[in-house]
Structure 1
Amino acid sequence: METLILSDAQIRAAVGAADVVDSQDRAFVLAAENDRVRSAQTHYTTFAPDGMAFVHSAAADGETGVVFKTGTQHPRNGERGLPAVHATVTLHDPDSGRTVAVLNGTTITALRTAGGLVAAARALSISRPHTVGVLGAGAQATEFALLAHALLPVDRFLMWSPRLRTLGRAHLDPRLADLPVEVAASPRDLCERSRTIAACTLSRTPVVEGPWLGAGTTVLTMGSYAPDRCEIDVACSAKADLTFTDLPGQALRSTGPVLAAVRAGVLKEEAVRPLAEVLRGDHPGRAGEAETVVFHSNGLGVQDAVLAWRAYAAARANGIGTRVDL
């Protein structure tokens, strides 16, 4: 039996921006439904400095087969001009378990992570054109900007990273060349001038501080998924009128800013709500333009599974990919 192999370019040919973000809407809803998703994950530090290996697996009843993502994370890869994450995704038939596809997991990771943040911004940010700030300039920040430009009412982007500060626009991904991007003077400058802020970092110290936020700001984090990672400070959490995450139980165990805010007494555990409530219409989300809203992305195996399965189905339907007999 043949197995479909999908490269970076083939995945991107199979799914567009709307497909990616819609898949993440669906993944967030599935994650919040009892007994619809089964998943497991494990990770460990490697012998490389700050290196980590991981295995994520998930299956969504009636929507995907069993999906595995295996890979490594090396935060220092930016200095090498390489993505922080290198991974492979394998898809298995839901009935027989046969390996039906192998996908570039680095691409799936980048698209689903950025797509999840854009899904949250679409649900929680103000609806009129505004400035979107992006902290970071690596693969995840680039994917976020590209998806946001396609699907959100963006007036302009402000971007900042340490390398952008020293190298200027020459450090930007060439795919951003035609986007309205301005390099901010500092994280504070970016935050003070943005109404949506995406923290696309792996920072252990806050890059967003509460006093920098104007009324009505939406703050999104993608790199605060572990207790020692903290992209926003406690004052930012205290300023939030609403706090959402992809899966509250996981956030209350592992998301650095959530743990810090709960310990400080500025955030009650029951106030951390799943984004699925807004996507399903069970929660109104932002009540007005003056509210400050925070969303934390933990990263869930079902996000990979739903996007990868949609890419596989679209590729099969459109004759995309390479077929091999394993």
Structure 2
Amino acid sequence: MKTLLLKKQEVSRLISMKEVIETVEEAYKAFNSQQVVQPGYVEIHLPTPRGEIDFKLGYYKTNEVISMKASSGGFPNNPAEHGVPSGMGTILLFDARSCALVCVMDGSLITGLRTGAAGAVSVKVLARKNARKVTSIGTGNQARMQIRAIHEVMKIEEIHAWDNHPETLSRYKADIESEFGIPVVMAHSKKEAVEQADILVTTTRGKGSLVEADWVKPGTHIVAIGTDTQGKQELAPEIFRNARIVNDSMAQCIEKGETWHPLHHNIITQADIHAEIGEILLGQKPGRENDEETTIFDSTGMAIQDNTTSSRIYRNAIAGNTGTAFEFFQ
């Protein structure tokens, strides 16, 4: 059996954002249909100035694929000292019928794509139908990916953005306006940006609350992306009080996600978590029920998203005769 090797440039040509949104929806539905085996992910924090590396493993019974992704971040000296990016990802795909390794692919782009798509899926089921303004707290690569994905599922008329690095904010404005023609308003403060939001997206590596409860207007949908390990935080816990709270994986979110903070402060209990998003997509629980409620999607990222997305890329590569094949077992 041959193993296929896919480089980053090849991966980027093998899937569209529309397809990624489809694969993420598939992942969420599969997770809540008992079609997924997904152990808790493992993280290793390395000594400063190095960062962390995470390992996510998942088995999808429907496609008979086991995926394993290693993703690292926060290695600022990598480009100068080692000639590699400060953050990287690699995905291995195994045929679950034999456990043979069928594909090795760059995973850094996939992480960004499927995380962006997750936000878009939540917008489809939780945002107000008349939502038009998006606020982005944080203007890095994932903030751009969120706009690319949300743009696929709704008409964005205006973006309000804030970042604590003015030069990063200026680049974001130029890039988004050039790519989409959507006007970007550079906010003078977080409060000013948040108050404008129909949809609020947070994509930082925050270590404390960046968004206060009284800034959030009724009817806002919040896409909380940045908190995926203990110690990170973007939202004031009080925002969760009386909000409709939706997790990607409740087990992960109550331990490592934004949801941990209001639980820890006794603002909510687990019973106050409305649903996992797959339950809403499957019609097992309702999404938004009125235009006044605040909805929160807490996304920690799941192995099954990597599985369905990388499997689609692999199938597209086989169909398009793309990549380099090699033999492990000769």
Residue 261 of structure 1 corresponds to 262
Structure 2 CA distance for aligned equivalents of residues 125 and 77 of structure 1:
40
Counterpart CA distance in 2 for 1:157 and 1:324 is 46
Counterpart in 2 of 1:61? 61
3-state DSSP class of the match of 2:314? helix
State the Cα deviation string for residues 54-97 of structure 1 (Å, max 9, x = none).
Answer: 221111102241111113121768999x9763111111112222
Do 2:36 and 2:58's aligned partners in 1 also have CA atoms closer than 8 Å? no
Between 1:303-312 and 1:219-228, the stretch displaced more is 219-228
Pick aligned residue for 2:241 from 238, 241, 251: 238
Aligned 8 A contact 2:140 2:168 in 1: no
CA drift at 1:39 = 3.2
TM-score for both structures, normalised by structure 2: 0.89
Matches of residues 103-118 of structure 1 in structure 2 within 5 Å?
A: 103-118=105-120
User: Who is 1:47 aligned against?
Assistant: 47
Q: Could you say what the CA RMSD is over the residues aligned between the two structures, in angstroms?
A: 2.4
* 2:233 counterpart SS class: coil
Alignment of 1:18-97 (within 5 A): 18-34=18-34, 36-49=36-49, 51-74=51-74, 85-97=87-99
Q: Which residue of 2 aligns with 1:211?
A: 214
Specify the alignment match of 1:306 in structure 2.
308
Counterpart Cα distance in 2 of 1:84 and 1:232:
26
Aligned AA (1:222): I
TM-score, structure 1 normalization: 0.90
Matched residue SS, 1:286:
coil
2:130 corresponds to 1:128: yes
CA change 1:168–1:143 in 2 (3 A) is closer
Amino acid at match of 2:115: T
Distance in 1, matches of 2:39 and 2:312, equals 18
C-alpha offsets along residues 263-301 of structure 1, whole Å, 9 cap, x if unaligned?
333212112121112111122211111111011011111
Partner of 2:200 in structure 1?
197
CA deviations 1:300-319 (Å, max 9, x no partner) are 11111111111111221223
Given that 2:65 and 2:94 are in contact with CA atoms closer than 8 Å, whether structure 1 keeps it comes out as yes
Secondary structure at the residue paired with 1:211? Answer: helix
- Please tell me the residue identity of whatever aligns with 1:270: A
Report the count of equivalent residues. Answer: 322
Shift of 1:210: 0.8
Deviation, structure 1 residue 9: 3.0
Whole-Å separation in 1 of the counterparts to 2:219 and 2:172: 30
CA contact (8 A) 2:210 2:234 kept: yes
- 1:61 corresponds to which letter in structure 2? K
Instruction: Kindly report which structure 2 residues correspond to 1:281-296, keeping only aligned pairs within 5 A, or say none.
Output: 281-296=283-298
Q: Which amino acid aligns with 2:65?
A: G
CA distance in 1, matches of 2:85, 2:292: 37
Moved more, 290-299 or 70-79: 70-79
In structure 1, runs of 5+ residues without a counterpart are none
Q: Which runs of 5+ in 2 are unaligned?
A: none
1:189 to partner: Cα distance: 1.3
The whole-number CA distance in structure 1 between the counterparts of 2:48 and 2:8 is 26
Partners of 2:255 and 2:168 lie apart in 1 by: 38
- Counterpart of 1:244, as a letter, is V
Measured in 1, the distance between the counterparts of 2:236 and 2:255 equals 17
